[in-house]
């Protein structure tokens, strides 16, 4: 197993390259629908509750909201567009009475580094068109079976936008990639600023 796909060497420090999705509700059924759709669209291999043990050292868990609540994160492996197998994870931020839920699908920076994926060009934030477009494609596929309010792709993006402030429109200048539904169609605006 390559370092990029090793659980034990990930999830410790650094950040993550993310697909952050505003689910649009706070009920378990809505979150479950988006979780299942993202896991399937990404083609994630396995589902595990512990990021500090290799899959061979733990039992698989169901890819459910109940598992997310029990473990805090779910982990698996996914193939990047380059063909490299890397670790990935998902977590939920429950909105409660104040806002809707968020689902955050991510690949740790350390896994991208180990796979040789470039995502920093000296700017004050990370950006990879390859990973942005891949995550946007996962979002678009997931949206077909589990529509959501909006999403963002980029480095540490979860919660950086919300559907209410976007009003169904893509901002002209975007430091991250935006995915905004309008009339049942999910539109993608890649980072351009």
Q: To the nearest whole number, what is the mean pLDDT of the chain?
A: 89
Task: Give one DSSP letter per residue of 141-188, joined into a string.
Answer: HHHHHS--SEEEEEET-TTS--HHHHTT---SS-SSEEEEEETTEEEE
- 135 class by beta-carbon count within 10 Å (0-12 exposed, 13-18 middle, 19+ buried): buried
Q: What is the mean pLDDT of residues 85-113?
A: 87
Percentage of the chain lying above the pLDDT 90 cut: 60
Q: In the block, which residue shows the tokens 């299942």? A: 36
Q: pLDDT tens digit string along 40-56?
A: 999 999 999 998 899 99
Measured CA to CA in angstroms, residue 160 lies from 47, 102, 130, 163, 175 at distances of: 27, 11, 21, 11, 10
Rounded distance between C-alpha atoms, residue 55 and residue 41, angstroms: 21
Q: pLDDT tens digit string along 126-183?
A: 778 889 999 999 999 999 999 999 999 998 887 788 898 899 999 999 988 999 999 9
Local structure of residue 37 (DSSP, 8 states) = H
- Give the predicted TM-score (pTM) of the model: 0.92
- Write out the E strands in the chain: 16-22, 45-48, 74-79, 85-93, 102-108, 150-155, 177-182, 185-189
């Amino acid at each position: 197993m390559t370092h990029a796909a090793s659980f034990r060497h990930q999830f410790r420090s650094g950040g993550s390259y993310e697909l952050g999705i505003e689910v649009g509700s706070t009920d378990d059924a809505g979150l479950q629908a988006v979780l299942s759709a993202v896991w399937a669209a990404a083609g994630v291999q396995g589902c595990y509750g512990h990021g500090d043990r290799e899959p061979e050292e733990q039992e698989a868990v169901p890819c459910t909201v109940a598992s997310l609540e029990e473990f805090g994160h779910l982990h698996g492996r996914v193939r990047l567009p380059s063909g490299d197998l890397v670790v990935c994870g998902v977590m939920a931020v429950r909105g409660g009475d104040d806002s809707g839920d968020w689902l955050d699908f991510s690949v740790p920076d350390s896994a991208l580094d180990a796979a040789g994926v470039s995502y920093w060009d000296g700017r004050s934030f990370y950006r990879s068109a390859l990973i942005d477009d891949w995550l946007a494609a996962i979002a678009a596929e997931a949206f077909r079976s589990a529509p959501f309010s909006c999403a963002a792709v980029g480095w540490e993006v979860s919660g950086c936008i919300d559907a209410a402030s976007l009003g169904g429109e893509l901002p002209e200048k975007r430091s991250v990639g935006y995915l905004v539904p309008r009339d049942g169609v999910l539109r993608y605006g890649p980072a351009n600023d």
